[in-house]
Structure 1
Amino acid sequence: MQGVTTHSQHPSPADDPHPEPEHRTAFAQASDDLQRHRPPSPVWGDERDAVSIALEWAATHTALASDPKATARSAHDLHAEVGETITAGGIGAERAMELFDEVLLPATRASDDPMNLAYIPAAPTRAAVAFDTVVSAANVFGGLWEGGAGAIFAENQVLRWLADLLGWPADAAGVFVSGGTNGNLSALATAREHARRTRGGKPAGGWALACASTAHSSVSSAARLLDMEVVMVPVDANGHLTGQALEPLLAADERICAVVASGGTTNAGIVDDIASVVEVAHRHGAWVHVDGAYGGAALTAPSARHRFDGIEEADSFIVDPHKWLFAPYDCCALLYRDPRPAAAAHAQHAAYLDSINRGESNPADLAAHLSRRTRGLPLWYSLATHGTDAYTAAVERCLATARTVAGAIKASEHLELLLEPELSVVVFRRRGWDQDAYRTWSRRLAKDGVMLCVPTAYQGEPALRLAFVNPSVEADAVIEVLTTTMGEADGS
């Protein structure tokens, strides 16, 4: 195959005019030694080179710092440089890795760079990243206890830790799914099916869910898929969904079977008034789901835990460890205070599945999936390695950074803080700038590799936001960027 040197062709160090770096030779040798008992496949042949090349890259990349200059390129430009890689004969492992390392990866955004403060970035521990390769190599089927008992047991210990943070009973249970969209969809499907069973069938006007306009876009997406209407609840002056605003809507509309509260909105980091929402919703027989995809990690922080008061009585909850619990993509923890309605909604039955031991923990029973990788294991490994106290310290550090940067913005003569941060998102504006000025400033800093911060909107007006979910971020570095780059009146 083009571009690959087979093991039988490896020159000796003395004969090679371009000897490999010592670390590469040692790594390749170690990989070869581990693979020596694997005979070539009758179809794939000898894959030792492909394995060693990929594992060495993964090990090296895990140890290296990220590159904040990484930016997207057009498909046209990428094709011009990469060409066709899916061919009848293959392009070989070395060429494939070369293209990935030198062209494809640099055309992505570095999520874990300390100066990536856009959207909700990800800052996994190196332990979690490394263990993600273990999960792939182990190739465990994580849908059923029968196939993945040990791995599922470890995942369940993490889920129990989260349930304890929620203050939920011993029989609470959950599952790791791909992301918040899947988690919200699965939880709301459970809520709808639970209502169908407990309310005697579908109401004449169909089902509906209630949420604030600040709820994540995945809530509306889930409602469409579930044929549920979305009833928008007005928020208070500070952006919170409250039981007081919810009460008249639930009293007037029997179609509403579920209420979604935000445990940290993505745009502004606002935590709804969960306690009042739960009290009112349950009084009207509605399920309460808390979307904590971003902000739920703050349950680990004593300084922020009070914002989640009332979550002890919620019915379901999600948090994305790939957002602020330092796990790699993709990972969402979905939990149920009582898992029985979830099993009634999601458990699959077929002739080949009927022998499953339903007395054990079968993750396939708790969400809209059957096949799944044990994506909760990188978080388990990192938690087991570092301990929960380190996680508390990391989240608290992010909260402190947000408060420090917010304070500097308030003290600035040309910047305006739009709301006090409840969690680790800081929303602000530059006085005198319009949307074009924000975009010009944002693109310039991204191109120069200084900082990633993209424009947003707050209460209908253009603004900027900084999301602090990486404990390696230095507040002083962020403040210096804001001070030295936002003095120009037009952002140019």
Structure 2
Amino acid sequence: MSAAAGQYSEALSAAARHAQDWLASLPDRHVGPALAAHDLADAFAGPLPQAGMPAAEVVDYLALKAEPGLMAMPSGRFFGWVIGGTLPAALAADWLVSAWDQNAVLRVSAPAMAAIEDAAGRWLVDLLGLPEGSDVGFVTGATMANFAGLAAARRSLLADTGWDLERDGLFGAPRIRCLVGQERHDSVDLALRYLGLGRPATVASDRQGRIRTDELDRQLSAGSGPALVCLQAGNLHSGAFDPFVEAVGVAKAHGAWVHVDGAFGLWAAAVPELDALTAGMDLADSWASDAHKTLNVPYDCGIAVVRDAAALRSAMGVQASYLIRAADGAADPHEKVPELSRRARGVPVWAALRSLGRDGVAAQVRGLADAASKIGARLAAVDGIEVLNDVDYTQVSLAFGDDATTRAVTAKVIEDGRVWMSGSRWQGRDVLRISVSNWSTDTDDVGTAVDAVSSAYGAVRAGNG
């Protein structure tokens, strides 16, 4: 064994040992971190040492010092924000991606990565019932998936007016009217800002956060020119899905491009029993998702899907003499994403899909929705606890009378540490939000969640909060 190979072996063995210890601790550990960032600063800061440290010792030091500042996000008892876990096959595949160290930019330089991502993209389009031939790019997360899809929309809409975006830029271009639901995720606004499209017009939503199609029609009718409508698959607080058949129909009647932000909700299309939620979603023009949230692959992996492959490649791609195209002329991975240097994010997606199969993906998503439904039903039966949303998917929003009590219960749940749930504010009320996103959440975890919330509420009511 060469000296370099020996160093890799020692460092990777140490990393594997620490990783397995971490994963083994998840069923029983306090979910929240023991130390805050400022408490950990001294362990990692200070002047850069003059002399180096052997690689295996660096790994040991890193694992030891970081452990008190780790949140047990991969635990089945973590219900904060919308953060999934990691499937075993996807985690192991991600380690291989790091070890292979391929820049997944060109077919000729990383053919295995390109072939795997091509297959993963085709599987996703088929699994989610999206139009055959849609192009798929693997980006960093849902924000950049929205960015890529909306960049394709911008390019296509301006081209339809005769404006050459590549040649003339945005200054002087026809203004694109951007319409979003009142309860869209802020990452949509962020992507629109990155693209220079400005602040979108807001369309009223119903009590579950679904866009109102009558208001969408009214606002589209009140203006003219190119239009972009952003819909939502999975509301952050309620899990609700926009009424796609009606909303897309209205948007298309006005010639609009329709984009769907489905960061965690796009995956409902894989479950036959949830057809009512996603009916008509395939009629849109572009879709965005985050594979970490519901499919449970490692960070980072967003998915951008665009019906018009040429629009995506024109918006994202670049040509240069040193970027050697494959002999068959097939699109290179970099033509579908905002980066040139890029990790092969689609490999863990392929591994997750291959390990689950079509039935396994459906069972996983169904299990998340079933767990949310059980948590919601059991907590709704507790006197004084309100479930504010229709629990049709994976989200539960709770209130405990007044806002002060809700905030106190949220703090008590986090302090208790058996579960982690995030506080938020929805439709004028403070809420405790439960997001079921981890493949490993089981019946015991559901029971722990119900007990943690119930006991925290009991303690606050008794004046012990």
Structure 2 length normalisation: TM-score? Answer: 0.90
Aligned to 2:178: 209
Q: Hey, what's the Cα distance between the residues in 1 that align with 2:325 and 2:360? A: 42
Relative to structure 1, the CA distance from residue 119 to residue 208 in structure 2 (aligned partners, 3 Å threshold; closer, same or farther) is same
* Distance verdict in 2 for CA 1:271–1:491, change over 3 Å: farther
Deviation at 1:367, TM superposition (A): 2.4
Structure 1, 255-264 or 439-448: larger mean CA deviation: 439-448
State the 1:240 CA deviation: 1.0
Aligned counterpart, 2:83: 121
Q: Is the 8 A contact 2:128 2:270 kept in 1?
A: no
User: Residue 71 of structure 1 aligns with which residue?
Assistant: 33
**Residues 258 and 284, structure 2, Cα contact 8 Å, conserved in 1:** yes
Matched with 1:337 is 307
Query: Residue 131 of structure 2 contacts residue 282 of structure 2 at CA under 8 Å; is this kept in 1?
Result: no
Q: How many residues align?
A: 451
For the residue of structure 2 that corresponds to 1:423, the secondary structure is: coil
* Deviation sequence 1:320-365 (CA, Å, 0-9, x none): 1100112111111111122111112111022322645572131211
Moved more, 160-169 or 302-311: 160-169
Partner of 1:261: 231
Query: 1:385 & 1:354 partners in 2: Cα distance?
Result: 33
Q: Say which of 382, 394, 398 aligns to 2:364.
A: 394
Equivalent residue, structure 2, for 1:130:
92
Q: How does 1:443-482 map to 2 (within 5 A)?
A: 443-471=411-439, 472-474=441-443, 475-482=446-453
8 Å Cα contact 1:187/1:289 also seen in 2 = yes
Q: Contact 1:174–1:363 at 8 Å: present in 2 too?
A: no
In the TM superposition, what is the alpha-carbon distance from 1:491 to its structure 2 partner? 6.7
Counterpart AA for 2:347: L
CA distance in 1, matches of 2:327, 2:203: 43
| CA–CA distance in structure 2, aligned partners of residues 304 and 355 of structure 1 | 42
Contact 1:402 1:425 in 2 (8 A): yes
Query: 1:302 aligned to 2:264?
Result: no
* SS of corresponding position for 2:145: helix
Conserved? CA contact 2:418–2:448, under 8 Å:
no
CA contact (8 A) 2:226 2:255 kept: no
Residue-by-residue CA offset, 1:399-443 (whole Å, 9 max, x unaligned): 111111221222221101112112110111112x424x4344333
Name the aligned partner's letter for residue 65 of structure 1.
Answer: L
> Match for residue 21 of structure 1?
none
CA contact (8 A) 2:158 2:226 kept: no
User: Do the aligned partners of residues 363 and 94 (structure 1) sit closer, same or farther apart at CA in structure 2, a change above 3 Å counting?
Assistant: closer
Name the structure 2 match of 1:197: 159
Matched position secondary structure for 1:150: helix
Identity of aligned residues (%): 27
Instruction: Tell whether the 8 Å contact from 1:68 to 1:115 is kept in structure 2 after alignment.
Output: no
Q: What letter is aligned with 2:442?
A: V
2:254 equivalent to 1:292: no
The CA distance in 1 between the partners of 2:328 and 2:46, in whole Å, is 47
Deviation at 1:288, TM superposition (A): 0.7
**CA positional deviation for 1:88:** 3.1
Matched, 1:171 2:133: yes
Out of 236, 249, 254, the residue aligned to residue 279 of structure 1 is: 249
Q: Which deviates further from its counterpart, 103-112 or 248-257? A: 248-257
Query: Which whole-Å deviations, capped at 9, do the CAs of 1:47-95 have from their partners, x for residues lacking one?
Result: 5433432343345545553634342744432123444384232233344
C-alpha contact (below 8 Å) 2:181/2:202 kept by paired residues: yes
Structure-2 change in CA distance of 1:476 and 1:64 (3 Å): closer
Cα distance between partner residues in 2 of 1:346 and 1:464 = 39
SS in 1 for 2:162: coil
Equivalent residue number for residue 226 of structure 1: 195
CA RMSD of aligned residues (A): 2.4
Q: CA, structure 1 residues 40+332, in 2 after alignment: closer, same or farther (shift >3 Å)?
A: closer
- The aligned counterpart of 2:284 is 314
1:154/1:377 contact within 8 Å kept: yes
Q: Secondary structure at the match of 1:486?
A: helix
Unaligned runs of 5+ in 2: 164-169
Structure number with greater CO (CA < 8 Å, separation at least 6) is 2
1:238-274 Cα deviation digits (max 9, x unpaired)? 3211432211212222355211100002232111111
For 1:72 and 1:439, locate their aligned partners in 2 and report how far apart those are by CA, in whole Å.
21
2:210 maps to which of 214, 237, 240:
240
Letter in 1 for 2:186: S
Contact residue 242 and residue 274 of structure 1 kept, 8 A: no
Q: Which runs of 5+ in 1 are unaligned?
A: 1-35
The residue identity in structure 2 corresponding to 1:302 is: P
Indicate the residue corresponding to 1:484 in structure 2: 455
User: Which residue matches 2:10?
Assistant: 49
SS of the residue aligned with 1:238? coil
Check the 8 A contact 1:63/1:126 in 2, yes or no. Answer: no
Q: Per the alignment, do residues 241 and 388 of structure 1 end up closer, same or farther by CA in structure 2, a change over 3 Å counting? A: same
Look at both structures and tell me which one has the larger radius of gyration over its CA atoms: 1
